[in-house]
Amino acid sequence: MSELIENVSSNFIWINGEFVKSADANIHVLTHSLHYSGSVYEGERAYKGKVFKLHEHTERLLKSAECFGMYVDYSVEEIKAITYDLLARNGLDYAYVRPLIWRGAESMKIYTPDLSTNFMIAAIKSKNDFKTNVKLNVGKWRKANPNALPPQAKSAAHYGMSIATLVNSQKEGYDDSLMLDYEGFIAECTVSNIFFGKGKNIITPIPDRFLNGITRQSVIEMAKNLGFQVLEERIALPQLTDYDFCFITGTAKEIVGVGKIDADTISYKFPDSDKTTEFLQAEFAKMVGK
Query: Among residues 8 and 214, whose Cβ is nearest to ligand PMP?
Result: 214
**Strand ranges inside the chain, DSSP E:** 12-15, 18-21, 40-41, 44-47, 50-51, 95-103, 117-125, 131-138, 176-180, 186-189, 193-198, 201-205, 229-233, 245-250, 254-262, 267-269
Measured at CB, which residue is nearest to ligand PMP? 213
Would you say 104 or 207 has its CB closer to ligand PMP? Answer: 207
Q: Which of 50, 125, 140, 154 is catalytic?
A: 154
SS3 content of the chain, % helix, strand, coil (to 5): 30, 30, 40
| Among candidate residues 221, 248, 237, the one with its CA nearest the CA of residue 132 | 248
Task: For the CB of residue 9, give the shortest distance to ligand PMP in the complex, in Å.
Answer: 24
- The CA distance from 276 to 283, in Å, is 11
Shorter beta-carbon distance to ligand PMP: residue 115 or 177: 177
Crossing angle for the helix pair 214-225 and 276-288, to the nearest 10 degrees: 110
122 close to 104: Cβ distance less than 8 angstroms: no
CB of 258 to ligand PMP, least distance (A): 15
Q: In three state form, how does the secondary structure of 114-153 look? A: CCCEEEEEEEEECCCCCEEEEEEEECCCCCCCCCCCCCCC
Nearest distance from C-beta of residue 41 to ligand PMP, angstroms: 9
Task: Give least dist CB 69 to ligand PMP, A.
Answer: 22
Q: How far is the CB of 43 from ligand PMP (least distance, A)?
A: 5
The smaller minimum CB distance to ligand PMP, of residues 12 and 284, is found at 284
User: Which residues sit at the interface with ligand PMP, rule CB under 6 A?
Assistant: 43, 188, 191-193, 210-211, 213-216, 249-251
Q: Which residues contact 95 (CB under 8 A, 6 or more apart)?
A: 45, 46, 87, 123, 124, 125, 126
Active-site residue 171, yes or no? no
Residues present in the chain in total: 290
Whole-number minimum distance, CB 252 to ligand PMP, in Å?
Answer: 7
* Nearer to ligand PMP among residue 115 and residue 120 (C-beta): 120
Instruction: Indicate the DSSP class of residue 155.
Output: B
Instruction: Choose between 97 and 214: whose C-beta lies nearer to ligand PMP.
Output: 214
* Residues with active-site annotation: 154
